[in-house]
Amino acid sequence: MPPSESPLPRRVARTLRTSLFAQVACALVLGIVVGKLWPGFAADLQPLGDGFIRLIKTIISPLVFCVVVVGIAKAGDLKAFGRIGLKALIWFEVASTLALVIGLLAANVVQPGSGMNVDPSTLDASAVDAKTGGGHLPTTTEFALEAIPTSFVGAFAENSLLQVLVLACLVGAALLHLGHTKVPQVLPAIEQAQEIIFAVVGFVMRLAPIAVFGAMAVLIGNYGLGVIETYGKLIVLCYAAAALFIALLALALKVVTGLSLWKFLRYIREEMLLALGTASTESVLPRVMQKLRKAGARDDAVGLVLPTGYSFNLDGASLYLSIGTLFIAQAVGVDLSLSQQITVVLVLMLTSKGMAGIPGSAFLALSATASSLGAIPAGAVALLLGVDRIMDSMRVVTNLLGNCVAVFAVSRWEGALDKERAKKVLDGEIVVELDDDGEEKAQLTEPRKPRTPGAGSPGTGTPGAEAPGPAAPVAVPAQGTKEMAAEAG
């Protein structure tokens, strides 16, 4: 290449080729443009996002099973695993209740539905039935029974995470009981299966930009940007309440573990952008599990807390449900008393559990809450049909961060967190970059140091440095190529 030619195009091309974050970001922008300019064409792109989610879902159950079984077997203490589960449930209940209370307080202060004066008889209640597919939320008894598998294969076939967790706990306990001498080949086989699954995750993740492009184009094509004007006050309130809740999560994480949520957000920026683009936290569950393990959380804690949180710790959904309930009441002119609002919290504490995987679960929970109060017409829930999809981004971010914080907090609480490694990973002193096969590209434990005039000697530096002269060691950038990672190793 001639010396006068700028290396910028090469750097841009290399970044797009090697960085999942850059690929997903470009796909996100392109999807918005296509959805805005060609909404008819955008509506036909729905299979792109749906197909990607289907591929990810096929991986989640076997991955969770392998991680939990290996975690229990290697930890060697089933009682510790039980303590992790109990502490996780306590954390989930406190966090989700806090989200509900914040949502109610915010809706009471801002009054997003006041002045709308909507006549419930003018609303199409059948549209809610179409959204939910005629389904219903399980009762507490049904929810508990559905967590118990009826067959080993059926739990995986139905992709029921709670049933898979139960099976994994039983298998892990059996391995501990029998010991490695009686079944010496089982645990290594499960570990090898886990590596194969992570490799499959790497293959599927190559399709992530295509999925994000399709999902975002469909969103903008179907709903446009006009819905933001109609429901602007409600949207701003929900996102502001979510920001407040995330700030409280950051404070809790700092107090409990000493870690920074903002550094963690930078650490999982690729997964977060993918979750936003596909409006699904399931799409990033395998990668987030792997990154949490690389960041010092023990396998058994990650394997139990994170998947369980997908059913029990829907903080973003809790915020949305509490704000949505009061919005509907205010829009139809119903003034809820303090006792009725306490009832809202109690009902949503139950209905918000087990929402995962049920079509239109938010509307089912809202309808159940309205029915329990007896003051809000059931048809009024249709008011949120136009804005529900816009709220997905808020729910996805809050749910994902809430569950990741729960993993760190419970791990620290149980002594299952390598705090020093976690700090080094989040500070960038240890670079954890996953390649297409789900393996780490590079690990450097050398912290970045400032250049000192005259320090070093010509030709010295970190592996991979090309320019001679005085220079202090520097870390290989996180977005480096595989060749750079190999040199750094």
Write the DSSP assignment of 361-382 as a string of letters: HHHHHHHHHHHHHSSS-GGGGG
Q: Say how far apart CA 35 and CA 4 lie, in whole Å.
A: 40
Q: Say how far apart CA 74 and CA 172 lie, in whole Å.
A: 9
3-state secondary structure of 224: coil
Average pLDDT of the chain, as a whole number: 78
Give the tens place of pLDDT for each residue, 384-404.
877 777 788 888 899 999 999
DSSP 462: S
Q: How many CB atoms lie within 10 A of CB 119?
A: 10
In this predicted structure, what is the pLDDT of residue 99?
93
In this predicted structure, what is the pLDDT of residue 354?
60
Max intra-chain CA distance, the chain: 81
In this predicted structure, what is the pLDDT of residue 21?
79
Confirm if 428 and 445 have CB atoms less than 8 A apart.
no
DSSP 137: P
Q: Say how far apart CA 158 and CA 135 lie, in whole Å.
A: 17
The whole-number mean pLDDT for each consecutive block of 10 residues of the chain, a chain of 489 residues, reads: 60 75 85 85 85 87 88 78 88 92 92 76 61 60 79 86 88 84 86 90 87 84 64 88 95 94 92 86 88 90 89 88 89 84 84 62 75 73 77 88 94 91 89 56 46 40 40 40 39
Confirm if 393 and 139 have CB atoms less than 8 A apart.
no
For residues 223-240, one letter each, b for 16 or more C-beta atoms within 10 angstroms of the residue's C-beta and e for the rest, the string is beeebeeebebbbebbbe
* Structure tokens, 256: 């409990």
In this predicted structure, what is the pLDDT of residue 122?
66
**CA angle, 471 as apex, 467 and 473 as ends, to 5°?**
100
Q: Say how far apart CA 424 and CA 402 lie, in whole Å.
A: 22
Q: How many CB atoms lie within 10 A of CB 90?
A: 12
Give the tens place of pLDDT for each residue, 157-173.
888 888 888 898 889 88
In this predicted structure, what is the pLDDT of residue 486?
39
Distances (CA, A) of 422 to 206, 311, 402: 27, 26, 17
DSSP string, 37-56: H-HHHHHTTHHHHHHHHHHH
From the list 372, 327, 329, the residue with the least C-alpha distance to 349 is 372
Tell me the residue ranges of DSSP E strands in 311-411: none
Confirm if 151 and 167 have CB atoms less than 8 A apart.
no
In this predicted structure, what is the pLDDT of residue 87?
92
Q: Say how far apart CA 417 and CA 290 lie, in whole Å.
A: 14
- Helix ranges (DSSP H) in 415-481: 419-427
In this predicted structure, what is the pLDDT of residue 100?
92
In this predicted structure, what is the pLDDT of residue 223?
66
* Residue 346: Cβ-neighbour burial (10 angstroms; 0-12, 13-18, 19+): middle
In this predicted structure, what is the pLDDT of residue 224?
65
In this predicted structure, what is the pLDDT of residue 233?
85
